[in-house]
Amino acid sequence: MRQIAKGDTTQATGLDHFAIVLPNPGALGAAHKHINQVATVVNRFKNGYSKGFEVVDPEGNGIEFIIDEAIEQFHEADSYNWQDEDTKTIKAEELERHVDKDYSGVPSGSSVGHVQFRIRDLAATEQYLVSGLGFQIKPAAAKDQIFLAAGDYHHHIGITLRVDAKLPVATPTSLGLDYVNFVVPSAGGLDAIIANLNEQGISDYQYDEAHHYLMIAGPNQLTLWFTVA
């Protein structure tokens, strides 16, 4: 987190929400039981591959807590529906069914599953993330969204198009997202990203070859960092 003395609260391009993937249904239930007592849960949901709930922090950032049934610890790869984006509302009881202990904070084994951005130019952002950075398009729930992923995951990045093309681009004083860091498995993988950016004629990035560090912002000033594991 980075505190901004006089943050701009005007909604701009940037973070819509991010998802914390919890390691099992018991952890999800315990998180919901605790958070429901101290904050307002704005949504409880499930679809073909995940289940969870969402809260909104004091500065308007959405935070989802989910379990992801599309990963190996829950099911084999062919036992869930990758394309089932039909999201349904569920009750608190369904989330808390497997609670076996009190919540004591985000447990070990949790991770950030995806981030969802607000943008104003869907085509330009898709070109930058797909053609330039090599993310793959995945099935999405609505026509004003694009889901993108590396490999077989359902989505690491979600993009929502705001119909208002006048949505301002985020500035250094905008509240919300500062950057997202992606960790690639090797220096060779990072070199491949750089080579592809150059091939696509995308040059507005910063690359520290000595420390294997890439920073790029793209058409909506959504700052992405790529580092080596």
Is the distance from CB of 147 to CB of 154 less than 8 angstroms? yes
pLDDT for position 163: 46
pLDDT for position 117: 87
Given the structure tokens 């039909």, which residue do they identify? 86
pLDDT for position 72: 46
pLDDT for position 119: 84
Beta strands in the chain (DSSP E): 14-21, 41-46, 50-56, 62-68, 88-89, 111-119, 136-138, 145-149, 157-161, 180-184, 205-208, 213-216, 224-228
Cα separation, 143 vs 160, in Å, equals 9
- pTM here? 0.82
**β partners of residue 100:** none
Is the distance from CB of 136 to CB of 149 less than 8 angstroms? yes
pLDDT for position 74: 47
Can you give the pLDDT of all 229 residues of the chain as single tens digits? 555 555 555 677 888 889 999 999 999 999 999 999 999 999 999 987 789 999 999 888 899 999 987 554 444 555 555 555 678 999 999 999 999 899 999 999 999 888 888 888 878 888 889 999 998 887 776 777 788 888 777 778 777 655 456 778 777 777 777 889 999 989 999 999 999 999 999 998 999 988 899 999 888 778 899 999 8
